[in-house]
Every structure is written in C-alpha cells, then in structure tokens.
Chains A and B, each alone.
Chain A
Amino acid sequence: MTEEYDASEGQADGSPLSRRPQCESERIRTDGGSSPGPDRHRIIRELRGELARHPAVQAVEGKPSNEYRELRATVAPTWFGRQTEEASLRVAWIPDPSPGPETSDRASDAWMRTPIRAYYTVHYSESSGFDCGFHCEPNPHVDGLLHYQERDGTDTAYTYEPVSLSARSVSALFWEVMDGLSDRLDQL
C-alpha cells in the first residue's frame, strides 16, 4: 500500500464526503489481480443474482443495506419439504482470507474438502427455531473448515459434521450447497 486512505477523517470542511487518495484496495485493477474489498462486494452482488434465480428463494437483499456484508433471503420452506411457516437464508462470503488458517500453529485448520479458498456461510433458519447450514470457517468443534451444523432450537446445542464440496467456482458452489441443504432437510 502506497498511501493510506484515512476514510474516518474529512478534510477542512468536515464533510463526510471529503476525499483523500484511495488506498490500493480501492483502486480499479485491470490485470485480473485481486483487491479484497471490491472482490467481496462483487461476489456478494453476484450471489444475490444466483439466489434470486433459485426456485426456493422468494426475496433477497443485502445486509446491512448500505454495506452488503452478507445476503438475507426469504425462502419457501415447502420447497425443502418443510412444514414450517417461515424460513430464511443467510449467505456470507469472505474471498481468499489472508492470512489463512494454515499459518503459524494452525495446521489442523487447513482448507480441506473444498477447492475454494474462502470463508463462507449458507445458513437456513426456520421460525420454529430449527436452523442448519454449511460453513467454511474455523470452528473448534470441527477439524478443518468446511462443515455442516444443525440444531433443533435456539436452546439446544449444534451438532457438527465435516462435509465435502467439489465446485471450484463461487456460483457453482452456491448451487451445490443448496442441493446439499435440500438433501439434509429432506432427511429430517
């Protein structure tokens, strides 16, 4: 980074829109190189489109609305064979987190069972209190990152299970996860 963009401080006029030179992560890259903020924003926006295409999804929006840190969707529980009144989906994505968990003494947390280097979450919740989801993130209950977790209600503990996914792209992985979610819910 050549120059820090101090976005918390305005210039002399004190306006929140005052500008300073942008840091490296905000500059437009044309060489296919990665820049974390724009990459995550672009991926979340594209996932919004994939969610909108999915037959289980009734509505989807970015949260918080002015930041797009994650997506929240209203889904039809009947599509998953569930007889509850309301259900929702939370989708989060942090592309290529650096440093990864393979650094230092965290060798047991290496990316395993998924070709995509990212922290991600696709989590389904029902109004009944039941919730479950696929998570690729550090969790002390699971060796490695990618796992499925489920609980019957907010007053019960999660059960955790290592799982594998084959998709190498974000979009394909979303559809693979939704299929996995459908299988899990169908087995309940």
Chain B
Amino acid sequence: MPSDDSPDAESEWVETWKAHASAFDRVKSVTMTLTESRPASWIAEEAAVSPNTARDHLDRLINLGVVTATTVDGVRHYYPDPLYTRLRDVRELLEETTKQELSEQAAQLKEEIAAWKTEYDAASPDALRERAAADDISADEAYELTQVASDWELVQYRLSLVQDAFENYDTWMSGPSSLTV
C-alpha cells in the first residue's frame, strides 16, 4: 500500500478510505486489528500514512492507554492494550445492558458452551482444534471444527465480560463519573 509520501498512484480503495477516515483513525484501526505486534513502518504502510505520522499517532495512542509498545530485536513494536480493550468492552455492556439482562446473557452463553461440549464430546476449544489437525479428518470437517472452536472461544470471552460487568455493576453504575476509564 502506498504511503502519503509515495509518488505512486494510490488505489481507488485507499482514496475512499482516506476520504472517510483521518490518518489518526486509520493508524488506530490498523493497530487495533493486529494479531501480532508490528513496527510503525508496517502500520504506516497499511494505514497509508508516512512512518513519522504513524509514530506520532502511535505515541498518542500509547499516552491514551489504547496501545502498548515492546522492543523486538531493537525495533519498537506496537499492539492493542488488552486492558483497554477489555475495559471498553465491559463499559459497553454496562451502558447497554441491565443487571437482569447480564444475568440472562450469562445463562445463555453457558448453555451454548454446554451444548458444544455435548455435541462434540469435547472439554474445550483446544480439543476441537487438536481434532481438526488429525490426519484422518477431511477438510470440511476440519473447517467446521475450527469454526466451532473459534465460536466457543469467543463465547468464553463474552461470558467473562458479562461476569465482570455483573459483578461490578453496582459499583461502576453508582454514579455518572464511575464509568470514566
């Protein structure tokens, strides 16, 4: 992907993205969807900004507690701050859900996990992934097992968020300033 400083013509989709998202928003979005830490140069290229612009915005995101940085082989790498994303998710639940609804959601999520355990005779998503990797499993079966494992992991995470929100509901919802992160 060409950067701001590139003399090359940009793809039409890059122009559309730039017309509807600021450089800061693009840098933030690229960084918040990482599954492994990346250097500023990589993020800059993907967000269609110059490396210096990316570093400036990443520094700001670090100061805001949104992004963390680590050094890998002498190069600074960036990754979403897991604590920030978790608190953001819990806060969204608190804002959109009553305490009774949280309890109902927890029950429903647990029922889904129980159903997967029964249907696939598996104790965990990892067991499904191990099964998917077996030599005698067809590609279709492996795909289904991988999808279910991923859904299971997602539901486990959602359940942990719902439990956090429920357990701290009275404290965090007790005043208008209590939700400030």
Contact surface of A with B, Cβ cutoff 8 Å: 1, 4-5, 7-10, 15-17, 19, 22-23, 25-26, 28-34, 36-43, 45-47, 49-50, 53-55, 66-69, 94-99, 101, 103-106, 109, 119, 137-138, 140, 166-172, 175-176, 178-180
Contacts and interface: CB of A to CB of B under 8 A. Distances in A.
B85 A38 contact: yes
Interface in B23-79: 25-26, 29-30, 32-37, 42-43, 45-48, 68, 70, 77, 79
Given A7-B156, A32-B77, A68-B154, A95 B125 contact: no
Nearest to A170: B33
Given A7-B159, A8-B114, A28-B82, A37 B30 contact: no
Contact of B30 (A30, A39, A169): A169
B26 to A, nearest CB: 7
B133 A32 contact: no
Contact of A99 (B47, B146, B162): B146
A4 B153 CA distance: 12
7 contacts: A17-B166, A32-B79, A47-B33, A53-B20, A103-B142, A106-B142, A175-B14
B95 interface: no
Contacts of A66: 105, 108-109, 158, 162
A19 B48 CA distance: 44
A40 B153 CA distance: 9
A7 B113 contact: yes
A38 B82 contact: yes
Given A46-B29, A46-B32, A67-B155, A7 B110 contact: yes
A30 B83 CA distance: 8
Given A69-B151, A98-B129, A49 B29 contact: yes
Contact of A67 (B12, B111, B158): B158
Nearest to A5: B156
A7 B85 CA distance: 22
Interface in B66-121: 68, 70, 77, 79-83, 85-86, 89, 102-103, 105-111, 113-114, 117
B139 A101 contact: yes
Contacts of B70: 31-32
B118 to A, nearest CB: 9
A99 B85 contact: no
Nearest to A45: B89
The winner among B81, B123, B150 for most chain A CB atoms within 10 A is B150
A104 B137 contact: yes
A137 B143 contact: yes
Given A1-B124, A28-B83, A53-B20, 16 more contacts: A7-B155, A25-B156, A32-B68, A41-B89, A46-B29, A50-B29, A54-B20, A66-B105, A101-B139, A167-B1, A168-B46, A169-B43, A172-B1, A175-B13, A175-B16, A179-B16
